[in-house]
Amino acid sequence: MTEGLPQILKALDFASHRHSAQRRKGTRKLPYINHPIQVASLLANEGNETDPVLIIAAILHDVIEDTVGSVEERSILMAEISSVFGEEILALTMEVTDDKTLDKKVRKQLQIEQANHKSERAKKLKIADKITNLRDIIIDPPDWWTNERILEYMNWSEKVVDGLKGVNPELEKLFFETLSEAKNKYSVQS
């Protein structure tokens, strides 16, 4: 991965500027940039992934989805990512980006339906993203989420990951261990 280190650092810089005003949903309101860094770190350190394209896309995975408001801004940002990081990274980033013009329920259902049609890289990234989100729910859930809402998220994420399996046994095992931990924590409180 050392051959991709300059681009990885460039992606960190790029994403940190884009996410600078955002906070995570948890009660601690941590800087949002922590999330893509955690996803990339999980892929590299726990999933043993060394593909720089995958790591860079992990860092950028929420930039388009969560930092622009209009279709025009989205197009401009996509062109910028293509120019700075190349078409391959843009394509992978777009593959894991939800279309925010769609209703939230539709987007969530599409994640389930399209999971098994994703590329291998996208599947790995999505699994790592779900693991990181579950870890956040265990440690610092959004204060307005009820136990019912948390359990709904867990059940939904399991359906998504069921369609992503077969790409990285370590990540899959880690997802189901984390899911079990989360279910144990919140089932007790239900």
DSSP 3-state of 142: strand
Query: Superfamily for 2-189?
Result: Hypothetical protein af1432 (1.10.3210.10)
What are the angstrom distances between the C-alpha of 20 and each of 31, 40, 142, 187? Answer: 7, 18, 19, 35
d(CA 60, CA 81): 9
Distance, in Å, from the CA atom of 148 to the CA atom of 169, rounded to the nearest integer, reads: 29
pLDDT in tens, the chain (190 residues): 567 899 999 999 999 999 999 999 988 999 999 999 999 999 999 999 999 999 999 999 999 999 998 889 999 999 999 999 999 999 999 999 999 899 999 999 999 999 999 999 999 999 999 999 999 999 999 989 999 999 999 999 999 999 999 999 999 999 999 999 999 999 854 4
Q: What is the pTM of this model?
A: 0.95
Q: Name the residue ranges covered by the structural domains of the chain.
A: 2-189
Tokens of 136: 């956040």
Residues carrying an active site annotation: 65-66
CB atoms within 10 A of CB 56: 27
pLDDT 10s digits, 4-36 = 899 999 999 999 999 999 999 988 999 999 999
The secondary structure element, H or E, covering residue 8 is: helix 5-18
pLDDT at 69: 85
